[in-house]
């Protein structure tokens, strides 16, 4: 009678580990790359919010939109989680006219995503709440980017970002910002997190406003400044408007151009002194701005105010 034989196999742990790694990468979904040279390709990002995106040419949205409003990429349910490399290119003439809509900008919401090296020129945005040139709500990283134009809304309007709960570094905005209710800032409407090495030069008007940030709640702002005029009612301040618990380190605002003189939220400084390197870096190694790696100053650039070495206006 045939007797079945039982064979016992012992697989070494290193072999099991190799098999596991092979299985993991075999099952992992490939990351989509989007190379962008046209408005249509830019618009296609909304179909894959985790993509790695490369802007490879300047893009003018005016003809593509034809007077119609841009629909932001990502929203408060499904935000952008990928990476967008601007590569120093410019997206111009972004137009949004959605006065009853929230989370408006080139991107609606960024959840863990990254935006770097992007320029937005001549944005024209009118919406309700959480509005910014690049994004309405940021919970990721925005670096070495800028915006120009005009932003208008109700609550949480910023030249670059409406609400910031992530990190913004090495950025600037010249956007004119208006809020008919509260929280308007030249760079950010409301900040909950980190802003470092940034500046804003656009005028800000409304209620509860600041030249850089409209309202800050437990955020940290380091090595930043504001120069745009700040006019309104309620809480109106040169650098940061309303504040909860806030950490402000080595920040300044121009008293002559903002029209404000408040203290305790950035150092009030005259125009003449705002154009001196020694105001920001006196070479004592204590609380100095990082010249020339992060910042530079040149009387022929940025009207003589400090500018970002890797993100020149």
Residue 283 pLDDT: 73
CA distance 282 to 265: 21
Domains located in the chain, CATH noted: 32-308 (2.160.20.110)
Nearest to 149 by CA among 217, 207, 93, 227: 93
pLDDT digits (tens, 9 = 90+) for 106-137: 999 999 999 999 999 999 999 999 999 999 99
Tokens of 35: 């190379």
What is the reported pLDDT for 76? 96
| Cis preceding linkage at 22, omega within 30 | no
pLDDT of residue 4: 45
Quote the mean pLDDT of the chain: 91
* pLDDT tens over the chain, length 313 residues: 445 444 444 445 554 455 454 544 444 556 799 999 999 999 999 999 999 999 999 999 999 999 999 999 999 999 999 999 999 999 999 999 999 999 999 999 999 999 999 999 999 999 999 999 999 999 999 999 999 999 999 999 999 999 999 999 999 999 999 999 899 999 999 999 999 999 999 999 998 999 999 999 999 999 999 999 999 999 999 999 998 778 999 999 999 999 999 998 999 999 999 999 999 998 776 679 999 999 999 999 999 999 999 999 9
């Amino acid at each position: 009678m045939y007797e079945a034989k039982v064979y016992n196999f012992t697989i070494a742990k290193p072999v099991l580990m190799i098999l596991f790694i092979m299985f993991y990468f075999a099952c992992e979904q490939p990351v989509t790359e989007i190379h962008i040279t046209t408005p249509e390709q830019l618009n296609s990002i909304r179909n894959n919010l985790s993509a790695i995106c490369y802007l490879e040419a300047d893009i003018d949205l005016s003809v593509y939109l034809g007077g119609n409003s841009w629909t932001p990429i990502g929203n408060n349910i499904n935000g952008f989680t990928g990476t967008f490399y601007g590569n120093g290119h410019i997206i111009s003439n972004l137009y949004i006219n959605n006065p009853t809509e929230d989370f408006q900008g080139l991107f609606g919401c960024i959840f863990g995503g990254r935006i770097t090296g992007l320029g937005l020129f001549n944005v024209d945005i009118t919406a309700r709440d959480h509005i910014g040139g690049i994004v309405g709500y940021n919970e990721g990283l925005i670096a070495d980017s800028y915006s120009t134009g005009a932003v208008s809304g109700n609550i949480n309007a910023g030249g670059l970002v409406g609400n910031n709960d992530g990190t913004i570094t090495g950025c600037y905005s010249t956007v004119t910002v208006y809020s008919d209710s509260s929280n308007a800032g030249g760079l950010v409407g409301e900040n909950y997190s980190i802003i470092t090495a940034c500046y804003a030069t656009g005028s800000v008007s409304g209620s509860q406003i600041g030249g850089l940030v409209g309202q800050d709640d437990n955020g940290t702002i380091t090595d930043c400044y504001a120069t745009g005029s700040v006019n309104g009612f309620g809480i109106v301040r040169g650098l940061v408007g309303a504040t909860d618990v806030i950490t402000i380190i080595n920040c300044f605002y121009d008293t002559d151009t903002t029209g404000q003189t408040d203290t305790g939220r950035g150092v009030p400084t005259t125009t003449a002194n705002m154009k001196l390197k020694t105001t920001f870096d006196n070479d004592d190694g204590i609380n100095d701005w990082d010249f020339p790696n992060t910042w530079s100053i040149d009387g022929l650039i940025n009207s003589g105010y400090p500018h970002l070495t890797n993100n020149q206006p």
